[in-house]
Structure 1
Amino acid sequence: MSLRWMDDELERRAAEASERKLRDRLRDPGGSGRLLQQETGSSGSTRLLDLSSNDYLGLAGHPAIAEAMREALLTGGTGAGASRLVTGNHPVFGQLEEAVAAWQGCDAALIFANGYMANAGVISAVAGRGDAVFSDRLNHASITDGIVLSRAEHVRYRHNDMEHLRALLEKHKHARRKLIVTDAVFSMDGDQAPLRELAELKREYGAMLMVDEAHSGGLYGQFGEGLCRAAGVQDMVDIHMGTFSKAFGVYGAYVCGSHTLIRWLVNKARPLIYSTALPPCLVAGVLKSLELVQTEHWRREQLSGSGRLFRSALREAGLAAGEGDSPIIPLILGGNAEALHVSTALEDEGIAAVAIRPPTVPEGTARIRFSLSAAHSREELTDAVKIIIRAARRAEGGGEC
């Protein structure tokens, strides 16, 4: 079968500045997680200030985490060897799940390989034909794909529009089961879901509520439990999901809830049942990271202050920077070409800031998605803001201002 149709589609994407490409970038071991090394051909490599990763607390590469993984690697080997339901359930999984459940104040927890598999596995396990899943239009793609896999009716409500959600809940009130699912902090805009209003609607209509804390876990709450705890709705949420690949600086994901929920997922979540378990050494690293998240409060405090500084400076300069208090700060530029131009200009001046384009974000809202880390110094961010403002104004005006 000819693959010419692929060439045609890729050529169209290239013409629209929407083709994606992989680029090699290495973390600079001397940069405390905030710098990247990028190959520049025969001339060697260059160092870039990383303003695109999700290493919010600056824990990626933390020496204590690396040492925990090294020790576990020597005793537990390089891989689990099988799924957790066969022979891959190393005792460290149970240790982490007990620690996560205690941290979240839930009955039980379950570890998944990553956030995508957790969302896909949980939603398809708790919903099916005859059910309705109500999803914010800006939810992560893994939530959307989980709903598709579930074969439940996919009911999308306008972003954070609770009146629209209420109308849809009323319309589908006779569905066999109803699940409301939302990101806590939305990954491309950095704004928050109205969790208390969602919890009240869930109760009113007899629905389940699932909250994805991928971009809020570790950052909110006294011990980094997430936005649900900070908003005081922890006990009103049926399914808590979060990741270890962002604020925790490692890899993997967790789901928390009742004993019944976790027991159900062990029996019904296909990504868990049919996937080889995570390497035990990686799980040991997450266990150490969880300890750091709960004890090193200065990381959250520093990140919060940096976010206020960075966001306010961009907005005061008249740029379309998103509102909120998360470390995700989008700079909306509109067109794909404009976003790529600014991204390239920033790279030329030593900043790694990736252009985000449709279909990841809605048409006409291509942007640079800045994400900050506790590893960034105030001086680095102040200097970066000046460069960003200059690059954005050039893109707007077609030249120097």
Structure 2
Amino acid sequence: MHPLLSRLRADVEARRAAGLGRELLAVSEHRGVYAMVERQDLLDFSSNDFLGLAQDRDMRAHLADLCRLQGCGSGSSRLVTGTAASTLAAEKALAAHFGYESCLILGSGFLANLTLLATIFNDKDTLALDKRAHASTVAGARHSRAAFHTFRHNRMDHLEKILRAHPVQAVLTESLFSMDGDSPDFGALRRLKEEFGFLCVVDEAHAFGALGDGGRGLAPGVADVAVGTLGKAFGLFGAFILCPEAVRDHLVHFGQGFIYTTALPPWHGDMVLAMLERVAAADEVREGLRRLGDEARTTLGDVLPVRGEAHILALEVGDEARCARLAAALRNRGVLAFAARYPTVPLGQAILRVNLTALHTREYVRKLRDALVASLGDEA
């Protein structure tokens, strides 16, 4: 074996030996709150389909009609012939709904954060980012070649110390953290922004569509630039950057992750418009999801310590190997929950992440609790 391949294999074996191995679960079907995994129906608490739109019957039919009419793929990049008229219409509609000057749609959330940060910042800039920021944010900051400092998770007092010690051009954070399920104090962040004059960039991937009036997230009036995904509450795929026109224009001219990739399918913009209409009208659904989150925190908190302020709950386990065993035991009892381990979360702080959606009910949460109690009982 080539030495490089030997090194790669050794890296993976070391991860597995530390209880950090990763596997791809073969999912053959999603049906309501259930996922068919290896011929077993599992009650799914791992999906980001927060409003249930990914499986909506009307949206599925609309997509099928659009695909039959417009074809499967765009055939080129956005700067050649890959920008459909509906894509431009969708970008304008997203900007208007969320209250921003302009918008740019890209292929994924990771690509959006990476392209945004690596393009608009350079080695003359200094950034401050939350220590728990998503891997795509960290990658974008590193690729930008800007100097950056991390502040303790959601600690505005620590951020203030950094701001007083360094000439920070931008602060990067999230509105709802994907693993902790918590949020910054946006009132305090606004006050710091007014005092220090930094640009505020907020990843609203897990909040847009699911939180706020009209699904507008948690950072209106604070974020100068916001990144949203179309693969979570919007039930589709792709991502979007909400920003001043100057940022959009710069990304179109210099953003490698936008320029040098095939555009999304020609019907994608039409689907975004249809999904946006549903998202905007879903305040009642969002309220139901909020109430379910409150109840689930109490129900599951009697079994394991729970973090999370909205529809994402982190059940604290700690040990990585134990967390993986609990996730496997839950699957054996018909429940699917994600075992988040290092490096997704800090070492020794493994969690079972529970994602609640509009398709879940109290009964399903009780089934999760019962399966968790039984799985923990097996350890005794």
Q: Could you state the TM-score of these two structures normalised by the residue count of structure 1?
A: 0.91
Could you say which residue in structure 2 is the equivalent of 1:161?
A: 155
The correspondence of residues 67-78 of structure 1 with structure 2, limited to 5 A, is 67-78=61-72
The AA in structure 2 aligned to 1:96 is A
Could you say which residue in structure 2 is the equivalent of 1:362?
A: 346
Could you say which residue in structure 2 is the equivalent of 1:130?
A: 124
| 2:143 corresponds to which of 140, 149, 154 | 149
Q: CA deviation at 1:122?
A: 0.8
Partner Cα distance (2:325, 2:235) in 1: 30
Partner Cα distance (1:292, 1:329) in 2: 25
Output one character per residue of 1:188-247: Cα deviation in whole Å (capped at 9) or x when no partner: 01001222222222232221000110010011222111112xxxxx23321011101011
Task: Work out whether residues 333 and 365 of structure 1, in 8 Å CA contact, stay in contact via their aligned partners in 2.
Answer: yes
Q: CA deviation at 1:393?
A: 4.9
The count of residues paired between Structure 1 and Structure 2 equals: 378
Could you say which residue in structure 2 is the equivalent of 1:313?
A: 299
Output one character per residue of 1:3-51: Cα deviation in whole Å (capped at 9) or x when no partner: 21222222221111101121201333xx32x110012xxxxx1100000
Stretch moving more, 59-68 or 334-343: 59-68
The AA in structure 1 aligned to 2:244 is S
1:112 aligns with 2:106: yes
Q: Helix, strand or coil: the match of 1:367?
A: strand
| 2:215 corresponds to which of 202, 213, 224 | 224
Q: Helix, strand or coil: the match of 2:226?
A: strand
Q: Helix, strand or coil: the match of 2:210?
A: coil
Partner Cα distance (2:265, 2:334) in 1: 35
Partner Cα distance (2:225, 2:109) in 1: 14
Change (3 A) 1:298 1:318: same
Output one character per residue of 1:260-301: Cα deviation in whole Å (capped at 9) or x when no partner: 222222112211111111112233222211111111323212
Could you say which residue in structure 1 is the equivalent of 2:275?
A: 289
| 2:84 corresponds to which of 86, 90, 97 | 90
Task: Work out whether residues 122 and 145 of structure 2, in 8 Å CA contact, stay in contact via their aligned partners in 1.
Answer: yes
Could you say which residue in structure 1 is the equivalent of 2:203?
A: 212
The AA in structure 2 aligned to 1:135 is L
Could you say which residue in structure 1 is the equivalent of 2:232?
A: 246
Task: Work out whether residues 188 and 330 of structure 1, in 8 Å CA contact, stay in contact via their aligned partners in 2.
Answer: yes
Task: Work out whether residues 303 and 373 of structure 2, in 8 Å CA contact, stay in contact via their aligned partners in 1.
Answer: no
1:348 aligns with 2:332: yes
Could you say which residue in structure 2 is the equivalent of 1:201?
A: 192
Partner Cα distance (2:36, 2:137) in 1: 33
Q: Helix, strand or coil: the match of 1:168?
A: helix
1:267 aligns with 2:269: no
Partner Cα distance (1:46, 1:284) in 2: 35
Task: Work out whether residues 303 and 372 of structure 2, in 8 Å CA contact, stay in contact via their aligned partners in 1.
Answer: no
Task: Work out whether residues 314 and 389 of structure 1, in 8 Å CA contact, stay in contact via their aligned partners in 2.
Answer: no
Task: Work out whether residues 212 and 218 of structure 2, in 8 Å CA contact, stay in contact via their aligned partners in 1.
Answer: yes
Q: CA deviation at 1:101?
A: 0.9
| 1:5 corresponds to which of 4, 7, 30 | 7
Q: Helix, strand or coil: the match of 1:358?
A: coil
Could you say which residue in structure 1 is the equivalent of 2:60?
A: 66
Q: Helix, strand or coil: the match of 1:166?
A: helix
Partner Cα distance (1:126, 1:280) in 2: 28
Task: Work out whether residues 199 and 209 of structure 1, in 8 Å CA contact, stay in contact via their aligned partners in 2.
Answer: no
Partner Cα distance (2:280, 2:86) in 1: 19
Output one character per residue of 1:300-355: Cα deviation in whole Å (capped at 9) or x when no partner: 1221111111111122x15211141x111011111111101110110011001121
Partner Cα distance (2:233, 2:195) in 1: 33
Stretch moving more, 251-260 or 113-122: 251-260
Q: Helix, strand or coil: the match of 1:227?
A: coil
1:37 aligns with 2:36: yes
Output one character per residue of 1:94-141: Cα deviation in whole Å (capped at 9) or x when no partner: 111111011111111111111111101111122100211111000100
Partner Cα distance (2:27, 2:45) in 1: 13
Identity of aligned residues (%): 34
The AA in structure 1 aligned to 2:209 is G
Q: CA deviation at 1:55?
A: 0.9
Partner Cα distance (1:252, 1:58) in 2: 17
